[in-house]
Structure 1
Amino acid sequence: MDDADMHIGLEAARAHLASQPFSVLLGARLVSFDADGARIELDTRPELLQQNGFLHGGVLAYAADNALTYAGGTVLGPAVLTGGMTIEYMRPADGPTLRATAWVVHAGSRRAVCACELETVAEDGSSRLCAVAQGTVFPV
């Protein structure tokens, strides 16, 4: 796939994300979508926090789920679903931006196993790993 195909792929993937009402509600952005995987970002807002002021774990799980699925879609095509996912929270997520970066670990014709790192990004651009996830993606 050449750079022009990647650009078209990114725009189509962004349109797909924009068609998901829950993703729109959270303000998710697809930052990258290419042969290396996918990256989704969203800004922290007060309504996405839990009682201690950290980003809610469900928001992290959403970001991991979608990033894993988009990463799987890079090898299986656009019609895919998450088959299963695990997530390990390592530290509270606090910062203005959440970044979920996912890539394909192994792909066959009927499923892809993907990994994801979730980090918070500070105003100065520094990042801090807060969770990791793994999942399977399959075509529908």
Structure 2
Amino acid sequence: MGVDAHTTSSPLGSLAELAAMTEVPEETREQVASDPFCATLGIEVVDLSPGRARAELRVTEDLLNFHGTPHGGAIYSLADAAFAAASNSRGETALALETNISYLDADGVGETLTATAEETHLAGKTAEYEVDVVDGNGDRVATFRGRVYRPE
């Protein structure tokens, strides 16, 4: 489910598109759509369902490091945004306990990176998520893993 830049009211996708994603509370969709840090980087959440999220980021010149490749912080932020959306998708506050990332490859300017977060374990107040970050060819750029705690 892509986001058309001409109809998007938010850098994270239009509220109408996010509202069409079933089983996710409206308040949660609105929170995901209004994340100011993601908006600053240009990260868009393009799919959201319980325990799952997909986010995209187009690599621009201002996201490069001094080697001319995407800054690890930009890739981490993309993976973390998908992780945050997936872990909060049921409408319960989820707080990160730990995360880690492995960088596997680097792409250049103009490439669109996609991070897909999947819930891999849910038990009581904790859950675990795995996030794959891929380039436009589907080649893995990074793998991310995170655990959350739900205090409610």
Q: 1:108 to 1:74 in 2, by over 3 A?
A: farther
1:62 positional shift: 0.9
CA contact (8 A) 2:23 2:49 kept: no
Q: Which amino acid aligns with 1:21?
A: P
Q: Equivalent residue for 1:50?
A: 65
The Cα of 1:11 is off from its aligned counterpart by 6.0
Residue aligning to 1:133: 144
Bigger helix share: 1
| Structure 2: runs of 5 or more not aligned | 1-18
Higher normalized strand content (fraction of residues): 1
Secondary structure at the aligned position of 2:66 is classed as coil
Structure 1 segments unaligned to the other structure (5+ residues) = none
TM-score, normalised relative to structure 1: 0.81
Alignment RMSD (CA, Å): 2.3
Deviations 1:43-75 (A, max 9, x none): 111111111221110011111112122222235
Q: TM-score, length-normalised on structure 2?
A: 0.76
C-alpha distance in structure 1 between counterparts of 2:74 and 2:92, whole Å: 23
Matches within 5 A, 1:88-99: 88-94=102-108, 95-99=110-114
Q: Identify the residue that residue 74 of structure 1 maps to in structure 2.
A: 89
| 8 Å Cα contact 1:17-1:23 kept in structure 2 | no
- The residue number in structure 1 matching 2:77 is 62
Aligned length: 132
CA pair 18-135 structure 1, distance change in 2 beyond 3 A: same
Distance 2:72 2:107 in 1: 8
Answering whether residue 122 of structure 2 is matched by residue 107 of structure 1, we say yes
